[in-house]
Structure 1
Amino acid sequence: AQVALFQSGDVDYLIATDAIGMGLNLDLDHVAFAQNRKFDGFQYRNLTAAELGQIAGRAGRHLRDGTFGVTGQVDPLDEELIKKIEGHDFDPVKVLQWRTAHFDFASLDALKRSIETNAPVEGLTRALPAVDAQALEHLSRDEDIRALTTNAKRVALLWEACALPDYRRIAPAQHADLIASIYTDLARHGHVDENY
C-alpha cells in the first residue's frame, strides 16, 4: 500500500528496510541510507558493497541516473566503497547457503529428516540450523510434545509454532519452552489460552 502511495505521487518519500533491494522497481531519484549495518541472524555487521549496491540500485530506474548517500546518523561512505558500488565491482560470492522449502509433515521424525535434506545442486551448503529448526530439535525430545504430535496436521502446527521469532533473544531452550506452551494450547484447545 505504501509503495502504491509513493508511485502515485500521493507521498514524496518512502522509508523502507533493506528488503527494498530485493526487486522493487520504483521510480526513485535518491536512496538515503539511515543505517549501513544489519543483524544477519547471527550478528550485527556492516552491509557489504554488494548489498549496498543492490539497495542503491533502486534509484535511477526508468532511463535516468539515480543517486545514493547517507543520512546524518550514518558515517559517510568512503570513496573506495562508493567506487565499488558505482562500478558494480563486488567481491565474488564464495558460499551459497540453502535450506529446503519442502517439508514432510507425515511425522515428527519425517519433518526433521526433511529439514536435513541436502541441497539438490552441487555448490550449495546447508544453512546452519535456524531458530525454528533448533526449537523443533529441542521439542522433539519432549515426550509430552511427541504425544500431542500424532498426525500431519499436528506436525504442521508444531512447525508453524516453531517459526515464532525469538524476539527476546533468550536461550534456545527457554524459547523452545515458550513455543511448547503455545503449541500445547493450540493443539489441545485451538487457541492460545487468554491467561497466557
Structure 2
Amino acid sequence: MSPQLIAPTVAVHASFLAAMDEFRDDGAETVAHSRTARELRTWATRWVTAEGFAEYVGQTGGVSSEERVDGVVPLSTRWWVDGDTYLGRVTFRHRLTPSLLTWGGHIGYGVRPGARRCGHATAMLRAALPVAHHELGIDPVLVTCDDTNTGSRRVIEACGGIFEDQRDDKLRYWFHPAAATAGP
C-alpha cells in the first residue's frame, strides 16, 4: 500500500502519538503561529487515551465551517498515512483573510520529522491540490513558505507552483487546476 490522504482516523493512534513525540523533540512547541504547537499544548495530555484521541479526531476530522471572531476561517484537514502509520497532515483553509493572503495561503502541510526527506511532502501536496480545486472549489490555490525553507520551496515548485512574489519573509506561489497534475 502506498501513502494516501485520508480523513483523520483513530486507526493511527499509536503512530500519531509517536509522530507528536517527534515534533516535540524537534522543537515544534516553540514555533509561533504553529497549529502543531497549539495542538501539543492543548491536546497532549488528552490524546494519549483512546477517548481523548477520539475526541481530537472528531474535532480535527470535521470541517470547521464557520468563521470565528478571531479570524479563523473555515478549514478541513486530511492526514497522510501509509496503512496505520501517520506520516503528516494537510490543512485546507477554504478562503483567505488579508493575513492569510500574505502569510498562510490555502494549504499548509507538515511531515513528521522521522519521515522527512522521503518525498512525502511533494506527494502530499500533489494529492492535496485536486482536493482543494475539485472538492473544495478553491481556484486558484495559494501556498506560501518561509524564504529560508529551501525544502518547502522545492516541494512547491516541483508541484507546479507559480511564484508571484515575496512578502516579508514569505514566498507566495499560486496553483491553477491544470497545475494539479504537474510533475512526474
TM-score, structure 1 length as denominator?
0.29
**Greater strand fraction, Structure 1 or Structure 2:** 2
- Which one scores higher on RCO, CA 8 angstroms, separation ≥ 6? 2
Structure with larger Rg = 1
TM-score, structure 2 length as denominator?
0.30
